Structure 1
Amino acid sequence: MNVLITGGYGFIGSHVADRFHKEGYEVYIIDNLSTGNASRITFKHKGYKLSVQDGKCEEIFRMGKFDVVVHLAAQTSSEVARANPVRDAETNLLGLINMLNLSVKYNVPKFIYASSADVYGEKTNVPIREEETCTPASPYALAKWIGEIYCGKWREMYGLQTIVFRISNAYGPRQSERSGVVSAFLNGALSGKPLHVYGDGSETRDFIYVEDIADAIYRASLSPIAGTYNLSTGMGTSVNELIDAFKELRDMGEVVYNDRRPGDIGQSVLDNASVKRDLDWSPIYGIREGLKRTYEYAVRQQQAETQQAQAAAEVQSAAAPAVRSVFRRLLPYAENLLAFLLTAWLTLGQQYSSYGTIDVKLFYITIMGIMYGNRQSILAVLLSTGLFVYHKTLGGRELVALMYDPDFFFRVAIYLFIGLVVGYTIERKNAQIQQQQQQLQEVEGKYEFLSGIYEEVREVKDELQQRILNMGDSYGKIYSVTKELESLEPEQVFHAAVNVVRSVTQASEVSIYVVNRNRAYLRLVAHAGTNQAVRSLKVEEREDMAMVLQDGKLYVNKQLSPDRPLMCAPLYYRDQIGAVVAIDGLPFDKFSLYHQNLFKITCDLVSSALTKAFAYMEATENQRYVEGTSLLRPEAFREIMRAKKQAMEQYRTPFLLLRGEIPGDLLFETANQIEGMLRETDYTGLDEKQRLLVLLSNTNPEDASRVIERFAERGIILGEVKEAV
């Protein structure tokens, strides 16, 4: 059994992971470690540092085959929610939607969502029942409430079994100091700091111990319940009573009362009668016992002092990278200045005369552009221009006269041109290199992620034999589905077959066509799916069907042509192709050689069932048909009607029933007249009053009118039957 816990390195998530691990589950965890800590989990598990809205999560679902998903990942800070509602929505809403969609796509049986008592808002009537109207008072509570609605809609639209727990104030070991009043008071008591109370202390909360929450979530994973439940103790404890309970454990520091914060609720106690009744669960730990266990855990973690010392050392060591970062930013300017001083010395010094007309400043600008790009090359242009002006004025030129000298502007233009060209070229090259490096890092990150998954798949390779042995329930499911084919009525076999093929292959569209006498047409006899199937196919116009009828083999639409089904397979009767099964809407990961073989084997089972049904029909032909005619006796016709009605109820497959009067002395003449007037999928028979019945498969009233006219031309008057037969 596999369980995925989002936010599994968090306070509640780590306890939930512990519980599932103790029950023998394989635990998978998705956590971005924004507030979680991987050290909270000490047993062997599979953990992924990802955000729940990340697209890479699909790879985990593809590999995991989860039996239950527990969604605990959330942005829980009300302050962050108010300051940055976009970030809050990304985690609490987009992340939830991603998990819901993946759970549906990969057939997860159960989805458990952790909501909050905050969704109720301020209520005066306590304890609060689940039916109470929700009036969220903060962005965090609003996001949780909307998340509940999403869970309900996914249950309605996709059949995903979702359970929502509105959790009251959780407390216990591993809770961070800023995550709850119990944790804040505990840390204040251990450090001797004042306890800050927001309000007058009369505010009540329904404090529930974290292990009770983990127990309820585990029980829910095994239970058939669905819907929304309060998860609480059903008892309120005021903040002042909480302080008194702490004082029984150790001396407390000063208590400081502050104004209540915006969005804080005065009274919050949840009614837990529903979850106690439906889940057969009740909280084990009262507030005092839970506080004692939490306090004892905190005392054992008194190594916090050494951890704080290590943290201080890390803060000091963190200053060194900051200094190096500043140094790296200033280094180009320092090197530019040194290069400029060297250029000025060569330009103004005595050695300059030996260089003839060589302008050293051009080399200086070019080198700065090559080394550092645009910024330093432009700075070099400005410094070189200033040096040029200074050098000219030093030689006796007036500054005003210099402004009218074409040589001056030409020289400055050369400096600027070289600086811009070299700088732009280097900047462009650096940008391309940086882009390539970024792409390389993304590819390496994806490769590392997929490599990790590949290694994990290799780890479970040796367990495949045991997994196969444990797949008895899957084989049992296939067996129970194929039991539907055990009918001796071909019509029932056809309609059962679409259900069998759909269940085994997981295709959304399944159609079965029977072959007419001259193999020129295929008539729809059974269909399951949301799209309307074509009722009649001309073989010469359909290459896929022609190939199946000619070769007698499985056809696979490898080109993924939109006008053809993904797969077609023949159904045999006495070494002849009597029908064709077509499937479409197959999930992409099921479009494999394995599922092709699975489809072929399933069609062989259907062929076997049809062979038995037709053999039975032949053996009991005297009991099925009126002697000397092709008219079904009333009892045989009723069996076919029952199959048609079942297909109508289950798959919305239409049919029409027509009835007409036949004089007894014209029975055989009428039977001979109508033979060959109907399709292979239609039926004719008699009712108990010896009236003619005509059953038209996959037929609408417009088509029926043409049939009625055709019969009228032969002197047989038919009318549509509305009542049941």
Structure 2
Amino acid sequence: MKRKILITGGAGFIGSNVADAYLADGYEVVVVDDLSSGSLENLDSRVKFYQLNICSPALEEIFAREKPDVVNHHAAQISVPYSIENPINDAEINLKGFLNVLQCSVKYGVRKVILISSGGAIYGEAEEYPASENCPLNPLSIYAIHKLTSEYYVRFYQYQYNLTYTILRYANVYGPRQVAQSEAGVVSIFIEKLLHNQAPMLYAYPDEPEGMIRDYVYVKDVVRANVAALDKGDNDVFNIGTGQETTTSFLYRTIAWQLGTDLRPIPGPPRKGDLRRSLLDCSKAFKELGWSPLYTLDAGIRETIEFFKNKESLK
């Protein structure tokens, strides 16, 4: 009998790519998504889909009906500036929603929960660089605080109810299906703007005009980590990134070069919650999950540009 995996936020950018990989490996996939940022276009026809907010009491009915073996929790409010401006709403989704998922998981016999956390935010202005999983946690935004709190929640549920978990702390993920909105979608924002011959905003601190330093990891590599986490990494936490630092300016130049444009970006000030730098040490994932990134930035950007070009040609 095939194992059944329920993916919250599974119609979104990353979740839908994970769903495709699980289907390809022969799993039965159920998706719960309120479509606030996800799209039905992202879903394979074999996916069983429920349009629902994870905060809804009706979530229990889905768990009772489907009885999943594994829950992959991707549903989230992902914008750092939004979390600072709207902390209560961020808590509703990222805390209350996740607690609802955990309560249902315990009640209906879920074997394992894969929690998606944020390596790009949870360490703050890290004391070590690149940041390992043992680096002191210093969340400097509401979003990051709630992601850290979620990690404590799932650890409690393991201690109290013996619910197995794996936590994946993502770096800055990019790739096909990414939505060009909020700071989390900088790659898609740059690509879509340049495809329309429009100059995007490039945010930077005055003393660091090249922009913030980030660790950009391609979505297909992230998907492989989610596959590995099904049977490995029990009750542990792993950074999922590249360990390669990239400034926003370098990222922009890479995209502009591949698109053959010399359009200059518009300089802008940092936004609320913007970290100066973020870079992850992912050696633990290699040792214990057998995972490491395969895509270079050039290769990942190339595939992402092709996706957006094809999308434009269909309009």
Q: Same fold (TM over 0.5)?
A: yes
Which of 183, 188, 200 pairs up with 1:183? 188
Unmatched runs of 5 consecutive residues or more in structure 2: none
Contact kept, 8 Å, 1:168 with 1:231, in 2: the verdict is yes
Aligned partners of 2:71, 2:280: CA distance in 1, in Å? 25
Rounded to whole Å, the distance in 2 between the matches of 1:230 and 1:224 is: 12
**Residue identity in the other structure for 1:203:** M
If asked which structure has higher relative contact order (CA below 8 Å, sep 6+), I would say 2
Of the candidates 55, 66, 74, which is equivalent to residue 64 of structure 1?
66
Give the one of 269, 272, 294 matched to 1:284.
294
Amino acid across the alignment from 1:140: Y
SS in 2 for 1:127: coil
Larger Rg: 1
Out of 19, 22, 25, the position equivalent to 1:23 is 25
Matches within 5 A, 1:398-437: none
Q: Deviations over 1:468-490 (max 9, x none)?
A: xxxxxxxxxxxxxxxxxxxxxxx
- Structure in which a larger fraction of residues adopt helix: 1
Letter paired with 1:134: L
TM normalised by structure 2 equals 0.93
The residue number in structure 1 matching 2:104 is 102
1:78 Cα shift?
Answer: 2.2
Q: What SS does the aligned partner of 1:113 have?
A: strand
| Paired residues for 1:652-663 under 5 Å | none
Residue 224 of structure 1: how far off its partner (Å): 5.2
Q: Which residue of 2 aligns with 1:301?
A: 311
Match of 1:132 in 2: 135
Matches within 5 A, 1:117-156: 117=119, 118-123=121-126, 125-156=128-159
Q: CA RMSD of the aligned region, Å?
A: 1.3
| Alpha-carbon separation, structure 1, partners of 2:190 and 2:196 | 10
CA distance in 2, matches of 1:287, 1:43: 31
Conserved in 2, the CA contact under 8 Å of 1:114 and 1:165?
A: yes
SS of residue matched to 2:30 = strand
CA distance in 1, matches of 2:127, 2:185: 22
Alpha-carbon contact 1:246-1:252 (below 8 Å) kept: no
Q: Are 1:203 and 2:206 matched, yes or no?
A: no
- Paired with 2:128 and 2:238, the residues of 1 have a C-alpha distance of 18
Distance in 1 of aligned mates of 2:231 and 2:165: 13
C-alpha distance 124-248 of structure 1, shift in aligned 2 (>3 A) = farther
For 1:11 and 1:192, the matched residues in 2 are separated by 24
1:195–1:253 contact (8 Å) kept in structure 2: no
Whole-angstrom distance in 1 between the partners of 2:270 and 2:77: 22
Amino acid at match of 1:298: F
Q: Among 200, 210, 223, which residue is 1:214 paired with? A: 223
Match in the other structure for 1:34:
36
In structure 1, distance between residues paired with 2:262 and 2:52: 40
Instruction: Show the 5 A alignment for 1:207-606.
Output: 207-223=216-232, 225-250=234-259, 251-303=261-313, 306=315
For the structure 1 residues 145 and 252, does the alpha-carbon distance in structure 2 shift closer, same or farther, using more than 3 Å as the test? Answer: farther
Q: Would you say the 8 A contact 2:4–2:27 is kept in 1?
A: yes
Counterpart contact for 1:189–1:252, Cα < 8 Å: no
Give the partner amino acid of 1:46: K
SS in 2 for 1:222: coil
* Superposed displacement of residue 183, structure 1: 1.1
Contact 2:81-2:273 at 8 Å conserved across structures: no
* Shift of residue 13, structure 1, vs aligned partner: 0.6
Aligned to 1:161: 164
Q: Is the 8 A contact 1:188 1:253 kept in 2?
A: no
Cα deviation, residue 36, structure 1? 0.9
Question: Is the contact between residue 242 and residue 293 of structure 2 (CA under 8 Å) also seen in structure 1?
Answer: yes
CA contact (8 A) 1:124 1:267 kept: no
Cα deviation for residue 303 of structure 1 reads: 3.7
**Distance apart, 1:125 and its partner CA:** 2.8
Letter of the 2:277 counterpart: Q
Distance in 1 (CA, whole Å) between partners of 2:193 and 2:308 is: 12
Structure 1 segments, 4+ long, off by >4 Å, are none
Give the letter aligned to residue 92 of structure 1: N
Paired with 2:140 and 2:231, the residues of 1 have a C-alpha distance of 34
Gaps of 5+ in 1: 307-725
Shift in Å, 1:253: 2.0
- 2:80 corresponds in structure 1 to 78
Q: Distance in 2 between matches of 1:53 and 1:261?
A: 29
Secondary structure of 1:28's aligned partner: strand
Paired amino acid for 1:38: L
